[in-house]
Amino acid sequence: MGSLSASQKRGINPEDIDALRSLLSTTGGTLLTPHDEAYPASIKRWSRAAEKPAGAVLTPSTAEQVCIALKYASEQNIDVAVKGGGHSTAGVSSTNGGLLIDLNAKMRGVEVDTSSKILRVQGGCTWGDVDQEANKHGLATVGGTVADTGVGGLLLGGGYGWLSGQHGLSIDCLVEATVALATGGIVKASAQENPDLLWALQGAGQNFGVVTEFVLKAFDQADAFAGLLIFPPTPDLIDKVVTATNDLYTADREGKTKVAGRGAGGIAIARPPPAGGQVMLLVSIIYFGSEHEAKQIFKPLYDLGPVLDTTAVVPYPAVNTILAPPIGLRASMKGAAFTVPVRPQFVSDVLAEYVKFTDGNDDTSNSVILFEMYDPAQVVARETGSFANRGWHLNGLVLPMWTKQENDKSCRQWARDVNEMFKKELESHGKATGKGVDGGVGVRGDKGAVLLYGNYDQYDERSRDIFGQNYSRLQSLKSKYDPTSVFDKLFAIAPQA
Ligand SMILES: Cc1cc2nc3c(=O)[nH]c(=O)nc-3n(C[C@H](O)[C@H](O)[C@H](O)COP(=O)(O)OP(=O)(O)OC[C@H]3O[C@@H](n4cnc5c(N)ncnc54)[C@H](O)[C@@H]3O)c2cc1C
């Protein structure tokens, strides 16, 4: 059977549900329909705007159950969606009337092997599940900066986190995956077994199968010094905060401090609740070392007199809760590549745009714009996997958040507009420095980066631009592992003709 486009797939009907229940009967697999009490929890997404009513939901507890459902859906042309942590804002883990495989319901186990420093993580875990379990043994791995995010989607698309400065991306920590394929098999992907599949999973991983278990490298991890310094955005403070952050980042990158990737941070523009909804600059201080060292290193920022300082020594899992946006609003993510030094005037311009947008509509006051100042490129020189976005640039994020469906269109458009500001800034930086050649999206940076982060840029962008020069190899692997294109929701790869 050839591959089907999304529009040729169909929903699941009562006969399919009976047939699937019978196929699953000896395995203990549970299939939910909209009348079941547990169904609404499976449909929930981090962003309300990403929710769709599945025709039926499998809440598997084994890879075998996943495999049975996938094979049936593939043979019957039924639309399939897979939910890890449910944090994609583009609706790619949801299906309108098709079969949803909700890994998050029952597959959240984490096993820690302390002697080999390896974590065995089930496919539906959140990073909070991993942080908590690993921390009991003084370990951690590179996960997301917000604990409620799913391991599945975040890792398979690359994965940045506060530990990236020391250990690279989440995909750099992946040593093995167990994958349920739509062709009906369960395979391992590792350096020894199906290394081509491991390569594909490390960046383009939502395209090949359902990962029911991730095996991840872990590292010794002590308590950290972390929190926020909050500043009112006066022109003088914007200038000083941005300059101090640039200097700290550059000194670290050039090896002039003892931080060596152990300090990470960023600048957010938001209206945080402790500031009574006023627009503020939030500087995150994350330091993997002592409080004494942190206070010395980040002195230039402390000296600017933040109006609020939440920094403290915290256990590692708490580091991934300091910047957690509310769950269950409507939201949309748009990536925005930038580079250092960040121009203070650019931050002022972006802030003015933020104020205009949020002042103009009360429903948007939870929105955030983020300049993430941590960089895995400096510690991991190798080009692991199919991820095509390592380079000299850093990630920015435009995150409109709202509640009313009538605002969907204007909020998404605002994210595009702010993204355009970042693109122009990067282009003029490229012209001025010769970095990034012509600059701009789709043009590769000096380490071959596509300047798009697929986990943030889940709408508007094209698969070829996300995977760059890796696209054609991914096409041949698509033909091998998912020839009928069951997994086609996020940056679908066309099987090789
Ligand atoms: C609050 C918040 C914080 C974030 N922070 C970060 C961050 O610090 N670093 C970062 O890099 N990104 C971050 N992101 C972006 C994040 O990487 C993406 O939203 C990602 O898609 C979330 O994965 P998920 O499993 O929760 O999502 P889901 O919506 O469940 O899934 C997203 C995609 O992955 C697929 N998928 C999920 N699990 C599996 C699996 N086990 N096997 C096969 N396919 C699977 C789904 O089918 C879907 O296509 C953040 C997002 C949010 C909303």
216 and 230: one domain? no
3-state secondary structure 206-221: HHCCEEEEEEEECEEC
CATH number, domain of 348, equals 3.40.462.20
Amino acid 496: pLDDT: 86
Asked if residue 455 is part of any domain, the answer here is no
Q: Are 201 and 156 in contact (CB under 8 A)?
A: yes
Closest CA to 279 of 364, 385, 152: 364
Centre of ligand 1 to C-alpha 95, Å, is 16
Return the ligand 1 atom nearest residue 325 CA. Answer: 1
Asked if residue 440 is part of any domain, the answer here is no
What three-state secondary structure class fits 477? helix
β 394-399/30-32 pair status: unpaired
CA distance 212 to 139: 22
Centre of ligand 1 to C-alpha 74, Å, is 23
280 and 241: one domain? yes
Amino acid 438: pLDDT: 44
Q: Decide: residue 455, CB within 10 A, 0-12 exposed, 13-18 middle, 19+ buried.
A: buried
96 and 124: one domain? no
Last residue of a domain, one of 387, 408, 433: 433
Handedness of CA 431, 433, 434, 436 (dihedral sign): negative
Asked if residue 268 is part of any domain, the answer here is yes
Last residue of a domain, one of 390, 405, 433: 433
In angstroms, the Cα distances linking 18 to 13, 27, 96, 106 are 9, 15, 19, 22
Asked if residue 445 is part of any domain, the answer here is no
Asked if residue 468 is part of any domain, the answer here is no
E strands, 232-279, are 263-270
Centre of ligand 1 to C-alpha 151, Å, is 7
Return the ligand 1 atom nearest residue 152 CA. Answer: 38
What three-state secondary structure class fits 139? strand
Asked if residue 327 is part of any domain, the answer here is yes
Residue whose CB lies within 8 A of the most ligand 1 atoms, among 87, 129, 169, 334, for a mutation test: 87
Amino acid 11: pLDDT: 98
CA distance 409 to 165: 36
* Dihedral angle over CA of 213, 215, 219, 222, nearest 10: 20
Residue 162 DSSP one-character state: T
Instruction: Report residues whose beta carbon is within 6 angstroms of any ligand 1 atom.
Output: 46, 82-88, 92-93, 103, 123, 144-146, 149-150, 152-154, 156-161, 206, 210-211, 325, 455, 489-490
Minimum CA distance residue for ligand 1 atom 36:
153
66 and 142: one domain? no
Return the ligand 1 atom nearest residue 146 CA. Answer: 3
Chain mean position to CA 249: 22
CA distance 297 to 257: 8
| Upstream peptide bond of 400 is cis (omega within 30 degrees of 0) | no
CA distance 221 to 80: 38
Centre of ligand 1 to C-alpha 153, Å, is 3
Minimum CA distance residue for ligand 1 atom 3:
146
* Dihedral angle over CA of 316, 318, 319, 324, nearest 10: 150
CA distance 220 to 262: 13
Centre of ligand 1 to C-alpha 150, Å, is 5
Q: Which residues of the chain have pLDDT under 70?
A: 1-7, 255-264, 375-383, 433-448
Amino acid 384: pLDDT: 81
Chain mean position to CA 306: 29
Minimum CA distance residue for ligand 1 atom 35:
153
| Length of the chain counted residue by residue | 497
Return the ligand 1 atom nearest residue 82 CA. Answer: 47
The string over 163-187, giving b where at least 16 C-beta atoms fall within 10 Å of a residue's C-beta and e elsewhere, is bbbbbbbbbbbbbbbbbbbbbeebb
DSSP for 23-67 reads HHTTTT-EEE-TTSTTHHHHH--SSGGG----SEEEE-SSHHHHH
Last residue of a domain, one of 408, 433, 458: 433
Centre of ligand 1 to C-alpha 345, Å, is 33
327 and 205: one domain? no
209 and 331: one domain? no
Amino acid 340: pLDDT: 87
β 186-190/174-180 pair status: antiparallel
Return the ligand 1 atom nearest residue 104 CA. Answer: 30
Minimum CA distance residue for ligand 1 atom 32:
153
Minimum CA distance residue for ligand 1 atom 16:
154
Centre of ligand 1 to C-alpha 328, Å, is 15
Asked if residue 419 is part of any domain, the answer here is yes
CATH number, domain of 127, equals 3.30.465.10
Q: Are 99 and 54 in contact (CB under 8 A)?
A: yes
Residue whose CB lies within 8 A of the most ligand 1 atoms, among 42, 46, 62, 82, for a mutation test: 82
Residue 74 neighbours by CB under 8 Å, 6+ apart: 1, 80, 182, 183, 484, 486
pLDDT digit string (tens) for 190-199?
A: 999 999 999 9
Centre of ligand 1 to C-alpha 17, Å, is 28
Centre of ligand 1 to C-alpha 428, Å, is 32
Centre of ligand 1 to C-alpha 130, Å, is 15
Beta-carbon count within 10 A of 378 CB: 18
359 and 429: one domain? yes
374 and 229: one domain? yes
Amino acid 249: pLDDT: 85
423 and 348: one domain? yes
The phi and psi torsions of 119 (rounded to 5 degrees) equal: -115, 130
Residue whose CB lies within 8 A of the most ligand 1 atoms, among 45, 66, 206, 207, for a mutation test: 206
147 and 91: one domain? no
Query: In terms of residue numbers, what domain contains 122?
Result: 110-220
Minimum CA distance residue for ligand 1 atom 23:
153
Beta-carbon count within 10 A of 206 CB: 28
CA distance 408 to 403: 9
73 and 128: one domain? no
- Scanning the structure block, which residue is given the tokens 């925005």? 336
Closest CA to 399 of 359, 438, 358, 433: 358
E strands, 288-437, are 308-309, 312-314, 330-331, 334-338, 368-373, 394-399, 401-402
Centre of ligand 1 to C-alpha 118, Å, is 22
Q: Decide: residue 15, CB within 10 A, 0-12 exposed, 13-18 middle, 19+ buried.
A: exposed
Beta-carbon count within 10 A of 39 CB: 18
**Domains identified in the chain, total number:** 3
Asked if residue 483 is part of any domain, the answer here is no
Centre of ligand 1 to C-alpha 438, Å, is 31
> For residue 416, what are its two tokens?
């595009």
Minimum CA distance residue for ligand 1 atom 50:
149
Chain mean position to CA 133: 21
Centre of ligand 1 to C-alpha 154, Å, is 4
425 and 290: one domain? yes
In angstroms, the Cα distances linking 184 to 142, 187, 273 are 31, 10, 49
